Amino acid sequence: MLEFYKHVFDSTYDGLCIFDADGYGIAINKAGCRICSYTESEFVGTNVKDALKRGDINISVSQAVVKYKKPTTQVVNIRGTDVLLTGSPIKNEKGQITHVVLNIRDIAELNKLKVDQILSIALKMKHHDRDNMKIHEEIPVYDGIVAKSPAFRKILAIGAKIAQVDTTVLIHGESGTGKEVLLNYIHRLSKRENQPLIKVNCAAIPPNLLESELFGYEKGAFTGADSRGKPGLFEQADGGTIFLDEIGDMPLDLQVKLLRVLQEFEITRIGGRKSIKINVRVVSATNKNLEQLVNEGSFRQDLFYRLNIIPITIPPLRERLEDIAPLAFHFMQKTNKKYGLTKRFADDTIHLFEDYEWPGNIREMENLIERLAVTIDHDNIQWTDLPFLNSSKGNPHQRSLKKILQDLEKKIILENLKEYKTTRKTADVLGISQSSLVKKLQRLK
């Protein structure tokens, strides 16, 4: 029966989590991890007071429930995501609160749901047809993967599906978008999980050495060769997965040999006479347009077709706005743990991350947050600490601080006007006079 209740707990579409009366996390379901960008290991056994200190949350509903001894509902910002939390007390036979159960709903998801969508979901749940929710509920979650945006969750859903077969995959995406993260994800979900995962950067190895690195060589094959010979990376990956990163930089003469490997799944070492059978899954990646390279004659068309059986394109971070704030909190947590720090983002600072273009994508963000955490003396990262707020000539991705703040102010005003309809009510909510709001509207056009 306990297993049954755990299955129900994890199968619920809404997020659920349980605290004890002292504020320690007891359990969180899969939906709660997804909505809050938390892993189960981060939640269970940690205290809500620590989350408040780190800036992971701005208020604690569980503490309010224990304090006022009644159900409480609040909008809470958790790692950059606004969620609707409803906390309910669990009492023992003496009427004492022993635990608090929190129901978690993503505000953004609630805002997107129209009446017809709600009806559609209800009907599908009634008939046990949950295809529309598979992206949310059937994607395995691993530490280090943050996927709030529908675009990246769809990619993970595809990755989970193709992981079960050995077909060749070609991952497209700008530098720093997470191509290697997707590779690791596919490998961990595959039947080859416990076999080697060999990664090769085709652009980092000199062309004259790349062939021997990939296919190996026999003893005496060339001057300076190891007298015992050497197995290549394809042989080392036997039974597992080989990742050919920056495949667009592979020399043409080597592309011919790679094509043969993909057709026959056998290699011949340099200086060797016999073919060696291999059993590998090939995943390649590029930030270049391979079709354009084919047209220019620098990439073989037949190899492109062989690699491009399952193409996956990872969009840049600037097109995945829902991922930006959760990723920033994730990297801050990671850096704090790595260096024993207690840095956090000051109120409203994190929203400025969403107004930046991130030309270096996720890698740029991770490096920036580590640099801020290590070099800034104060614990609260302020908006004035963010280097991309200063205008930079020659960089079209950067905007001036004045423009960013104007856009942010305009966004906040328009969102509140849409909700409260009149300038009077909107001004009250924003804490300014109606005349000041009207002037701002005129200034911001």
DSSP H helices, 78-178, are: 107-112, 115-126, 134-137, 150-162
Q: Which domain holds residue 187?
A: 164-313
Q: Is the pLDDT of residue 392 over 70?
A: no
- Does residue 406 sit in the same domain as residue 388? no
Q: Domain for residue 132, yes or no?
A: no
Domain total in the chain? 4
DSSP summary character for residue 389: G
**Which two tokens mark 125?**
């749940």
Q: Is 395 part of a structural domain of the chain?
A: yes
Are 345 and 361 in the same domain? yes
Phi, psi of 227 (to 5 degrees): -65, -20
Do residues 399 and 355 make contact, with C-beta atoms less than 8 angstroms apart?
yes
For residues 376 and 422, state if they share a domain.
Answer: no
Helix, strand, coil % over all residues of the chain, rounded to 5: 50, 20, 35
In a domain? residue 159:
no
- Cα–Cα distance for residue pair 76/57, rounded to 1 Å: 7
In 3D space, the residue among 343, 324, 325, 323 whose CA is nearest the CA of residue 333 turns out to be: 343
Q: What is the per-residue pLDDT for 143?
A: 57
What are the structure tokens assigned to 146, written together?
A: 């943050």
Cα 91 from Cα 338, distance rounded (Å): 39
Q: Considering the domain boundaries, does residue 264 fall inside one?
A: yes
CA distance 141 to 328: 18
Short-list 260, 268, 259, CA closest to 299: 259
Report which of 102, 100, 106, 101 is spatially closest to residue 34, judged by C-alpha positions.
Answer: 106
Residues 303, 389, single domain; the answer is no
Is 218 found in the same domain as 347? no
- Beta-sheet pairing, 15-20 with 25-28: antiparallel
203 and 307 in one domain?
Answer: yes
Band of the pLDDT at 24, cuts 50, 70, 90? very high
222: confidence class by pLDDT, cuts 50, 70, 90: low
The label of the residue with tokens 């701005």 reads: 58
pLDDT score of 289 more than 90: yes
Confidence class for position 193, pLDDT limits 50, 70, 90: very high
pTM above 0.85, yes or no: no
Contact, 162 vs 282, CB < 8 A?
Answer: no
Question: Considering the domain boundaries, does residue 101 fall inside one?
Answer: yes
Give yes or no: residues 432 and 384 share one domain. Answer: no
In 254-321, DSSP assigns E strands to 266-267, 276-277, 281-286, 310-313
Q: What is the pLDDT of residues 314-344, one digit of tens each?
A: 999 999 988 998 899 889 988 998 999 989 8
- The answer to whether position 113 is within a domain reads no
